[in-house]
Amino acid sequence: MRRREVLTGAAAAGLIGLAPRALAQALPEPTRRSRAALRVDALGMVDYERRPDGTLQLHPQIAQAARERRIDLTSMTIAEPGNGPNRFAEAVAAIAEWDQAIAANAQVLRRIRNAADLRAAGDGRIAIIYNFQDTAALEGDAARVRLFKTLGVPVMQLTYNKRNLAGDGCLERANAGLSDFGRDVIAAMNAEHVLLDLSHAGQRTIAEGIAATKAPPAITHSGCRALVDFPRNSYDAEMRALAAKGGVFGLYLMPFLRPSGQPGREDLLRHLDHALNICGEDHIGIGTDQYLRGRIVDDAARKRQREFFERRQRLGIAAPGEAADVLNHVDGYNDMARFDRIALDLSARGWSSARIDKLLGGNFARLFREVWGS
């Protein structure tokens, strides 16, 4: 598939080719909080459409979301994940494309390249971090970590679902762990102050990656395998090791939160409670793997999901838990007020406001600052 056929960011596991629309429903009032209490989506996407000339256009409601601080910062996948040709060139082109889109929408969006930029987050714009959900863009050259850091990619995921040059993804039956090249890439990330993301990795790759890195790592978007035994979810042992290394475990809003059927709010809340018990309140966060405004649910959406799932099956990257008849969102959190809804639900569950602020942004903001340096 060409890069323009696959939406970046949440579309790595979401619907392909069409910008989503939110459900028509009343939104709760934005959560009142200080500028310092950031709302961070460690793996998300702002809604856009592609104009006839090929340039990107933000959905008008994104400005409202920024103004109301529905989200302050989102880490957005900037290049297509998975093995394939021309990944380096495609990644460079995608960075240039999104640089132009952010510059054209400077009243709504801003770039985050380093810890200094992070200090301005929460100013009524949505701060964007570029990430890769794969190291395929390096094309076998660990030195390119430095090049992409210079181009403004401070977060890199080591593997996607399948094996690449760095190691095994979560769908590889061999579970062979890191390669020598993968260790070189992690060393390069440490040297360049790039955050290592171990989402989508196999169990041994995660364990060995945590052991190999000298800086705190992340799993930006996953679930708890003790609750639902799917490869895209993480085992308690690796979650504990991640927290012990100072990292942050991000929960996604995806079908993998329940054994079958459409996930709902209680499914996410159960995973959040479990992650809290395993990792502690200083080491959990949210990486929605979703578009900010949510997705409309209708027959057309169901048709697109079926076609999308079948395409992923043909490519061999559909993970257990994905299904033709299960949409890639969590019912009840399928709009741009999801962080406010999560805050309300956790408060009713007995979580303190301080703990909720850590989960919804404080922990990932701390991790970014620590890894990137001053």
What pLDDT is stored for residue 187 in this prediction?
A: 98
Q: Give the residue among 106, 107, 93 at the shortest CA–CA distance from 55.
A: 93
Instruction: Record the tokens describing residue 365, joined without a space.
Output: 């903001």
- Beta strands at 195-197 and 284-286: parallel, antiparallel or unpaired: unpaired
What pLDDT is stored for residue 49 in this prediction?
A: 87
What residue numbers bound the domain in which 275 lies? 3-7+37-372
**Are residues 162 and 109 in contact, defined by beta-carbon separation less than 8 angstroms?**
no
As a whole number of angstroms, the distance between CA 7 and CA 370 comes to 30
Number of helical H runs and strand E runs in the chain: 12, 13
What pLDDT is stored for residue 296 in this prediction?
A: 85
Q: Kindly give, in sequence order, each residue whose CB lies less than 8 Å from that of residue 16, ignoring residues fewer than 6 positions away.
A: 5, 6, 7, 304, 308, 311
What pLDDT is stored for residue 374 in this prediction?
A: 67
Q: Give the residue among 11, 16, 24, 104 at the shortest CA–CA distance from 56.
A: 104
Structural domains counted in the chain = 1
Question: What is the maximum alpha-carbon separation in the chain?
Answer: 52
In a domain, 15, yes or no: no
Q: Kindly give, in sequence order, each residue whose CB lies less than 8 Å from that of residue 171, ignoring residues fewer than 6 positions away.
A: 161, 162, 231, 316, 317, 319
What pLDDT is stored for residue 25 in this prediction?
A: 59
As a whole number of angstroms, the distance between CA 240 and CA 279 comes to 6
Count of Cβ atoms closer than 10 Å to residue 183 Cβ: 17
What pLDDT is stored for residue 154 in this prediction?
A: 98
Instruction: Record the tokens describing residue 267, joined without a space.
Output: 């499914």
The CATH code of the domain that includes 269 is: 3.20.20.140
Instruction: Record the tokens describing residue 269, joined without a space.
Output: 């809340």
As a whole number of angstroms, the distance between CA 340 and CA 356 comes to 10
What pLDDT is stored for residue 31 in this prediction?
A: 80
In a domain, 171, yes or no: yes
- Which of helix, strand or coil describes residue 38? coil
- Beta strands at 56-58 and 48-50: parallel, antiparallel or unpaired: antiparallel
Tell me the pTM: 0.92
In a domain, 82, yes or no: yes
- Which of helix, strand or coil describes residue 156? strand
pLDDT in single tens digits along all 374 residues of the chain = 333 333 333 343 333 333 344 444 578 888 878 788 999 999 999 999 888 888 889 998 999 999 999 999 999 999 989 898 999 999 999 999 999 999 999 999 999 999 999 999 999 999 999 999 999 999 999 999 999 999 999 999 999 999 999 999 999 999 999 999 999 999 999 999 999 999 999 999 999 999 999 999 999 999 999 999 999 999 999 999 999 999 999 999 999 999 999 999 999 999 999 999 999 999 999 999 999 999 888 999 899 999 999 999 998 888 899 999 999 999 999 999 999 999 999 999 999 999 999 999 999 999 999 999 96
In a domain, 92, yes or no: yes
In a domain, 134, yes or no: yes
